[in-house]
Structure 1
Amino acid sequence: MNKKHYATINETLFEEVLPNGLKVYLLPKKGFHKTYGLFSTNYGSIDNHFGYSGEGLSQVPDGIAHFLEHKLFEKEEGDVFQKFGEQGASANAFTSFTRTSYLFSTTNQVKKNLMTLIDFVQDPYFTPETVNKEKGIIGQEIQMYQDDPNWRQFFGILNNMYPKHPLHIDIAGTIASIDAITADDLYHCYETFYHPSNMTLFVVGDIDPEEVMDWIKTNQASKTFSEIKTIERVFPEETAKEIIPFSRLQMPVTRTKAVLGLRGFQADLPETPAEQLLFRTALNLLLQLLLGNTSQNYLELYQAGIIDDTFGFEFSFDRTFHFADFATDTHTPDVFVEKIQAILLNFEDDPEVNEANLALLKKKMLGKYFQSLNSLEYIANQFTQDLFGDLTLFDLPEVIQQVSLEQVKEAGRQFIQADHFSSFYLEPIVKED
């Protein structure tokens, strides 16, 4: 078992790759009452066209990763949620574009709950009857999100920026796509993506890492898994020419919800994981310098009534995609899009982008980071999302500290391109006379 101490945050991480390929990370936190366990597979909603290298490819219905997450909790002998409850733990799961994660939190019976987590995820049970029953439940969930303006706004801009890539498809799929899912489809996806070699187990709390690692090794040694194979995932190639510049939709909202999207392309990214983490950090700093709520640009837009308290932005970075989106409720959507786009395109001449502001912002970012480490839930949920090669969530402080103003500007030059923008409006329904 490897041991790595992070002096900046005074944390020690234990890690080991088991013979079956499972990556295990253990973070002891003395004095904490809760323990979190998170079992995650590198498999999300965008992974719908895949196969093993050198073998045939297959395409499965949209929404199947999320459907599989739901079904894994249901076993022949009953619901796993109930078992966790009886053992004094709470459990949850979530599916993102690139990950599916299962987790528990508990203040006691750590071993029993950890073994329950591992065992239920590694023991699928699907039948045609239970699959058909679940379609109605997930169909209701899909409809609920279709009625959510913020959700429709987000996927509206994704559809503009990624018209071919499965990123633009709702994580839960569509009513039609989930209706096509079969038990065989679920087993096929499970056997491909839930192999230990494609998974990460992370445990954080007041634990003895040697003891916990022994529990996990014993558990895994008692099971038989297929041979480790390399998974090949297929995604359509897109260029800036395929970005949809603008689209709109009407829904029962009181004001227009406008969003400006800015898409990046994988070919423009730095090559190594370390450089990519630096790029992501630098770009986050640049966007905060330009449009954070203490920036002059933000204050001017706010005072002019172009944005209000609903304004927000985010830079999303994951495998096969990265993009930024800027959104607000506004009566002047065209002005909003024009102003934000101009700020971004002229970032090199913006007086906000200077050494003094960057130093202050880095301190602020580090402060938020250190505060977040007081939450075991945050650590557990973020850890597997922030794996950049050998770098982890705990390397972030050093990365933040080393970012220079020139690196911030270089990240902007790489990412901010005039032909990579798109906008989407969610407008109030116009009543006909």
Structure 2
Amino acid sequence: METTPDEILLLIFEAVSGPALLPWPDAPYDHHRACAPFVLASVCRHWRSIAQSTPALWTYFAFSDVTSEQEGQFNRLHILVSLVKHTPIDVLFGCEDWSLFQHQLSVGTRILEQLACLVGQWRSAQFDMPDLPPSVQGPFNNILPRQSPYLEQLSVTSNGATLCLPQASHLLRLHVHCDDLDLPDPFLCLPKLCILSYFTVGDSSDYLCSSYSQHLVELYIQEDANQGFQLVELPRLATLVLDDAKFLAHIRAPHVRTLGLNANSLTMSILDATAHYTGVQHLIFWNEIREETLHFVGCFCALATLSFTVPDPVKKTFGPYGHPYTIEPGFLTEFNSWHPPVCPSLDRLLFGPGPGSLPYKELLAFVHDRRQFLEAENCRNRERLSKRLTVLLECDIGPEIPASVRTKLRELQPNMLMKMTLGFDGRLKPLLRITSSSRLEM
């Protein structure tokens, strides 16, 4: 390595230091990315010289728990500030329980104040601060109402902050979970915003009714619909996730392809609203999935994938963290009993993590009957010969699948493919993939 040209070393350093942007909005603390520049700089003087002269290595300003090793974190912040110069930075600031460390809040406040001085360099920022104490609210509330020309991603989760959005004309993604949401006029001037996720609608309905919302591609709302919410048209929206399905009656989005709904919020009164979402191909449910839920499933004739889980972008707001799902007995049985069949294009079922219960006997019958239906369809239409039913059982429930169920699935069709796969990050539990097909799929 001593003879390696500096240009090659620089490329190696940048590759080792990690991605340019954090996953959003639920980005975990990346210990590897936080340590990488310091490890590289500690190898030898030559490497230290190159590392210190490369601002792009020092852009990860992540403080996952400001209550631990506080002085060390503050010293690290000083080093990052001195070496990053004017390069755009990625910010992650989190504290799970401030109440346990009331006597150590000064360091956390100092870190926030220092980050506020760098707000003009933010490229992405994520703040996870539940139960924010009053002594820290002031410094935090003063951070955001500033110019932030490079900011593309912003996620704020706090029960004690009054959020006032920064002036960020290039903001692409916004996730908000705050008790008090102050949305002044600059909020209406987010011409590039394409992904919006928030807990409280409030004044943000003004944004959705403005011309700027026409660029939205993904929208996630966790709040009860109210009569004061105006009808909005979102022509580019492709993904819509709602904790209250009554919002369907207030949103016109003809190009939505992925629709997520809290099954507990479904009522017969909103069936008519589904007529505006005939192009939905992926339907997601969480909470209690009953036989009555099937009336809504049947409204989406183009449906190809039915999921009982939660979409990744909103793990913090929906799904297994606060609302595990339950497939009640009778749902899958009723699914197969309808004639003509419900959702003839359906070829994929996804059972994600966090189920309260799963009726395996009904699942076995569903796989068997659906396979027969698809084979009959194949005989009538040779162009659909590759049509198959795929059932995915993910994460938490994988290891709990009874051996008798696996044996029965093999008996249903000898060439059924069953695989156990570990998640790419090493943290997911095994995944069981069950494919019913007229041919062995490799």
- What TM-score does the superposition give when structure 1 sets the normalisation length? 0.26
Bigger relative contact order, structure 1 or 2 (CA pairs below 8 A, ≥6 apart): 1
With structure 2 as the length reference, what TM-score do the two structures score?
Answer: 0.26
Larger Rg: 2
